[in-house]
Structure 1
Amino acid sequence: MTERIKTLVVDDESLARKGLSVRLEDFPEVQVLDACQSGRQALEAVKAHQPQLMFLDIQMPGMNGFEVLREIRQQQLPMPLVVFVTAYDQYAIKAFEVRAIDYLLKPVDHERLQKAIDRTMSTIEQQQQQQQQDKLINLVADATGEDCEDILKRLASGEDISGSRYPEHIAIKESGEITRVAINAIEWVDAAGDYMCIHAQNETHILRRTMKELEQELNPQRFQRIHRSAIVNMAHVEKLCSRQNGEYHLILRNGKQLKVSRSYKDRIKKLILNT
């Protein structure tokens, strides 16, 4: 950690409040923003400073430490990490039930205070790592169309998620030239014998590959089979229409109509309803 831990001290006893604030000056990683003498002051300080850590007395007149935490939750304020500081040990179990990271008995000695700070730093680092992981997962999900739960499973199995499993371009060799076609630009694909017709940005490219081989290179979160010989990019779908004869057709943004076979109809309807 490079930034100091933004901290509040809350205690109705003046000597205890000042004493702990002075003791915390021995820890350069801690920045005491305010010292509050009541639960009400603590709530205002949480609103104003959004601290990462709060040393909180339990027995205080008007609003005790547990009630302070309840009010923070009810007011939907950012919840700091909490170290309870009290002269009584009978609240220890309840303190950990509300997920306090430590419970210190007065008078607090330097070694126990050091352990509480170390535990706080470790918890903050874990939170930051989790936030970075969540950010990465969301970026991968946005880029690939994959479900976040699937990405988490891959991450848990040790798989690298920093890059997509699917290519961003496909190379198509035509008349002695190789054209790189962006995957996201592909609107639909249909089979023509032993070839694939790749339709992208008002152009049609001929690819010598089987439908099954091509399908393995396309992200299933974006590309869906709508017929035995057709795949469509769902991002280019405008609407799904039913005909009087019971057939369904997809209408693409460019006006193209594609027939949906009966075996794929229900899946396509579900995908459209859920997007």
Structure 2
Amino acid sequence: MAEYYNMVLNEEELHWFFDHIIQKPLEYETYMILLACRGKKLTDEEREYTKVGARGEMMREELIRCKGGLKQEWNFDIYRQAFYAYNCDKRFLLTPSGVPYPEHALVVYSVVNPTNEIDCIEDTFEHYNKERKNLTAAILRGSKPGIQDHLVKMPKVFEHMKSCHASHTSRRIWLDFDMDIRKECRVPKVFEEAAIALRKAGELLFGKGNFAVIKTNGGFHTLVRKECLTFNPNIFLKEVFEQADNLLFPQYVDEFVANDSSHKSKAGNNIIKRSALIPTPGCRQYDDYPWVVNKEDFE
């Protein structure tokens, strides 16, 4: 009897995310979602059995665009269809060893800002021309290994198009702040303190309805409307710590990163986040699903 993956765990949560966060894409735009297996969620025995590496795998991308040609139809049915494509027969998506992926290591990501398809096409053709020139050079050199190598690469050129979607943002509608809680501190009390601090800082700096706090497995993603962020993103990072009732709260935070900006982490590392790739509310993230903490702010 066939077994199926279950990737949409709460459709109501996904619907809210669509209604309040996802804007209708323009004619040349798409939204990308991605199904991934996280190696850190696998035991050593599972890694050996599945042959999935420690860093995991990006398994399958889906692109979501308006339908109906010039009519440019857009609704939740069109959007959710891509997510339900992941609810497939487990024999359709197999690990390198030929067995199904353990669901407790799977996560469905979404890029919250639309992609410019024209830029992706141009990038892909540039990549194609580079490979074509390399193949021609190998032929002229009479290098059989080089010819074989580039002949293998040439048919895969257009796979590059999907891989570049996260880096060719069309409109920056949302900026993402990613807070990771230390693994040993991931208890309900700490998550509650973090959510309160994020909401207080968000209301003070952006106003209700201009930011969404998304609870994830390891922390929070806070999406802020770009037009509301008219100052250095690090101000928000500092304000969150100042709004925390517990003076020890900063010690619970492993990393707090401003999307599309650069700042020094507590460890002194220069970190840059650009893609606004987040675990999708309502969809699988390991054995649970992310959800929006402050829905009432949008009413």
Interval containing the TM-score (normalised by the shorter chain): under 0.3
Point out which structure has higher relative CO (alpha carbons under 8 A, 6+ apart). Answer: 2
More strand by share: 1
| TM-score, with structure 1 as normaliser | 0.20
| TM-score, with structure 2 as normaliser | 0.19
Could you say which structure has the larger radius of gyration? 1
